[in-house]
Amino acid sequence: MGNHRAQRAPRRRTSAAPVAGKRRATGSRSPLLVRSLPSVPLVAGVAVLAISAGGALSSADTDLVGQVSSGTTSASGALGTAGAQALARRAPVVSRDARRDAPTEGVDAELLELAEAQAAERRAQLAEMRAAAEKQAAKIKENKWVLPLGSYSLTATFGQYGLWASYHTGLDFNANSGDPIYSVANGTVTETGYDGAYGNKTVVTLDDGTEIWYCHQTSIHVSVGDQVRGGQTIGTVGVTGNVTGSHLHLEVRPGGGDPTDPFDAFVEHGIVP
C-alpha cells in the first residue's frame, strides 16, 4: 500500500445566491449616516413650508437652508437640485424690516405734520398771551398810584368819630400850607371849587369811575375837563373849610358813590401811606 494521502478534489467556492430584499454594503460609506439624514422630499418640504410661513427669509435663514441643502446633497446627491428649484421659484427676498418700515414712514410724516401744526398753534397762543400781559403791565404802570404829598404825617383815618358830624370819611395828610398836591392816578378833572366844610375841592375821576376828592386846598391849579396824570400837581395844601390846621383831606369814592377807606385803596394799588 502506498503511503500517500488521497488527493481531494479542490472545493469550488461558489457565491451564495443573493437573498431577496437585501443588499450588500459597498464602499466605505457608513449605513448609519444614510439612515440619520432626512429624505430629500422631507427636507425640501420643510424648506418650502418655512418660506411660505415666514413670508420672507433673512440672511441667516438663507444660510441655514444652504447648509442643509449642501449636507443633504453630499449624502443623497439629490437635494441641491430640488432646493435650487424651490428658491428659484421664490420672489426676491424682502426683509421684515423693509416691510415694516414702508408704512411707518407715512405715519411718521403725518405725526410730524400734526406736531408742527400744534406747535405753531401753541406759539400763536403764547404770543397772544404775552401781548395781553405786556398790555396789562403797561396799563398798570400807566395807572400806577402815587402818594398825594411829598412829605406828610397821617393825623386822622377813615371811620373815626369825634370832630365830624358823623364819622371821618377819608384820610387826613398833615402838611404845610402851600405844599403841592399831586393827583394820585391818571384821570379827568370833573369838579373844582368851594364846597362848604370841604373848603376848596378838586375831584378827579379815574378811568374805572372812581372819584378822588382833594379838600381844604389853598389853591386849585386845574379846571374841569382837564386830563391829569399820576404825580401831576393839581393844587396846594390849605386851611379852607372846617379845619383845625393845614392838611389835605382825601376821599376815595368808587363809581362816585359812598366813600371807602383810602388806606385800603392805596394798599390795593401797591402803596402804603
* DSSP per-residue string spanning 138-170: HHHHHT----S-SS-EEEE-TT--SSSSS---S
* pLDDT tens, position by position, 193-249: 999 999 999 999 999 999 999 999 999 999 999 999 999 999 999 999 989 899 999
For residue 218, the model assigns a pLDDT of 97
The predicted model scores a pTM of 0.53
Query: Is 226 within 8 Å of 188 (Cβ atoms)?
Result: yes
- Gyration radius of the chain over CA positions: 57
pLDDT score, position 161: 74
pLDDT at 88: 52
For domain 153-268, which architecture applies?
A: Distorted Sandwich (2.70)
pLDDT of residue 146: 95
Question: At residue 14, does pLDDT exceed 70?
Answer: no
Read off the pLDDT band of 90 (50, 70, 90).
low
pLDDT tens column, 138-147 = 777 777 899 9
- In the chain, what percentage of residues exceed pLDDT 70? 60
Q: Hey, CA dihedral for 138, 139, 143, 146, is it positive or negative?
A: negative
pLDDT on residue 101: 53
Q: How many residues in total does the chain contain?
A: 273
Q: Which residue has the higher pLDDT, 40 or 148?
A: 148
As a whole number, the mean pLDDT across the chain is 75
Q: Is 44 a residue whose pLDDT tops 50?
A: no
The conformation of residue 260, written as its DSSP 8-state character, comes to: B
pLDDT at 107 over 90: no
The better pLDDT of the pair 172, 57 is held by 172
Domain residue ranges of the chain, discontinuous segments joined by +: 31-89, 153-268
**Position with higher pLDDT, 270 vs 43:** 270
Average pLDDT over residues 1-23: 46
Please state the rounded mean pLDDT for residues 255-265. 94
What is the pLDDT, as a whole number, of residue 108?
86
Mean pLDDT over 269-273 rounds to 89
Q: What is the pLDDT of residues 153-175, one digit of tens each?
A: 999 999 887 665 678 899 999 99
What whole-number distance in Å separates Cα of residue 212 and Cα of residue 192? Answer: 12
Residues 171, 153: Cα–Cα separation, whole Å? 10
Greater pLDDT, 134 or 224 = 224
Residue of 243 and 86 predicted with greater confidence: 243
pLDDT of residue 178: 97
Residue type, 166: S
Closest by Cα among 195, 222, 208 to 145? 208
Whether the predicted pLDDT of 16 surpasses 80: no
Q: Is the pLDDT of residue 77 over 50?
A: no
